Amino acid sequence: MSETDTQTLTPALFYRDPKAAMSFLERAFGFETVMVIEDPDGGPSFHGEMRLGGSSVRIGAEWSADHASPASLNGKNTQTLAIQVETDVDAHCAQARAAGADIFAEPETQFYGDRTYRCRDPEGHIWVVAQTVEVVTREQAEAASGLTITGWS
């Protein structure tokens, strides 16, 4: 891989109702839809792509036992999605709640300087939203948490 190669990571989420999920993601978090591919006969084929700032996410319909919504898996998740915002995270939380997010951890300032909240979307995917409200050093974070931290930048 050369130094000029650009690499990106794009998560793909699966939903029972991907169109409703995309609408939720627009209202709750401010995602923008950039592409939708769907079966003209109303079949199960669906692929959506959305952007938020410089990041993107793919949205798909369930299509196998290994590609299913948490709603079809008794709420099980194998990942958490994180959004870093520069704006008021408390207002962001209120917007997500109004759009139908299940807020299970209200905004709270963390030892590492971010104010975060956690929520589930209508089908159970877990999202963590954070805003840096204080720049702290590794030593400050370790003292506040009692943890040993390596790789702090």
More confident site: 4 or 122 = 122
Residue 65, pLDDT > 90, answer: no
Q: What is the pLDDT of residue 61?
A: 92
Closest residue by Cα to residue 115 from 107, 106, 123: 107
Q: Is 47:58 a contact under the CB 8 Å cutoff?
A: yes
Q: What is the pTM (predicted TM-score) of this model?
A: 0.90
Over residues 80-94, mean pLDDT: 96
The yes-or-no verdict on residue 3 having pLDDT over 80 is: no
Closest CA to 35 of 24, 51, 21, 23: 51
Of the pLDDT bands very low, low, confident and very high (cuts 50, 70, 90), residue 117 is very high
Q: Does domain 12-145 have CATH number 3.40.50.10860?
A: no
* The pLDDT value given to residue 83: 97
Which pLDDT score is estimated for 1?
53
- What tens digit of pLDDT does each residue of 25-63 get? 999 999 999 999 988 887 777 899 999 999 999 999 998
Q: What is the DSSP string of 113-149?
A: SEEEEEEE-TT--EEEEEEE-S---HHHHHHHH----
- Cα–Cα dist 146/107, whole Å: 22
Q: How far apart are CA 28 and CA 108, in angstroms?
A: 19
Domains of the chain, residue spans: 12-145
Sheet holding 102-109, edge to edge: 80-85, 126-132, 114-120, 102-109
Q: What is the pLDDT of residues 69-82, one digit of tens each?
A: 999 999 999 899 99
Complete DSSP assignment for 51-88: EETTEEEEEEE--BTTB--GGGTTT--S-EEEEEESS-
Output the six-digit token pair for 136: 């702290």
CB 57 within 8 A of CB 12: yes
Residue 103 reports pLDDT greater than 70: yes
